[in-house]
Amino acid sequence: MYDNKGNVTTISKNIFGGLEIRDNDGNSSTISKNVLGDLEISDNKGNRTFVSKDVLGNLSIQSSNGKRTSVTTDVLGNKAIDDNRGNRISVRKDIFGNYEASDNHGNNASIKKDIFGKIVVDDPKGILETVKLQLVEELMKK
């Protein structure tokens, strides 16, 4: 696979069924499942991240640098993203299918479709970086 700068990335399966991702700069990452079904993401620089899902579908993400993040979903489909540094982002879907987000620092953002069906992202502080792609993909399905 080539990007617009001519860099080459290869993706293949390893002998354990995990994905190996390598680029022409010598970087490599592996994505695999452990015996509990949790994802383990590691790279050749010693970074490791574990992603697990509980029975309610809530995610727990732990990285080797000590950062922990949890993504919980309530019965209405609203999401809360919390980390161990005291940050919290709440994302809710309104009755029109648009997403409104706010963090515990007073910042707000939105992702919605305009009257022409074009997706509009209003995120001046970048609080949605971790979930922006997922929310845009959900809006594109409609």
Best CA proximity match to 99, nearest among 112, 117, 116: 112
pLDDT in tens, 81-117: 899 989 898 989 888 888 898 989 888 888 888 888 8
Best CA proximity match to 101, nearest among 139, 75, 128, 83: 128
Residue type, 40: E
Element (DSSP H or E) covering residue 90: strand 88-93
In the chain, the largest separation of any two C-alpha atoms, in whole Å, equals 49
pLDDT of residue 88: 92
What are 31's strand-pairing partners?
19, 41
The size of the chain, in residues, is: 142
Of the listed ranges 11-20, 50-59, 130-139, the one predicted with least confidence: 130-139
Give residues with Cβ within 8 angstroms of 124, minimum separation 6.
107, 109
Confidence of residue 2 (pLDDT cuts 50, 70, 90): low
Per the confidence metrics, is the pTM higher than 0.75?
no
- Cβ atoms within 10 Å, residue 99: 23
Residue type, 125: K
* Token pair for 92: 């809710």
Distance CA 128, CA 111 (A): 9
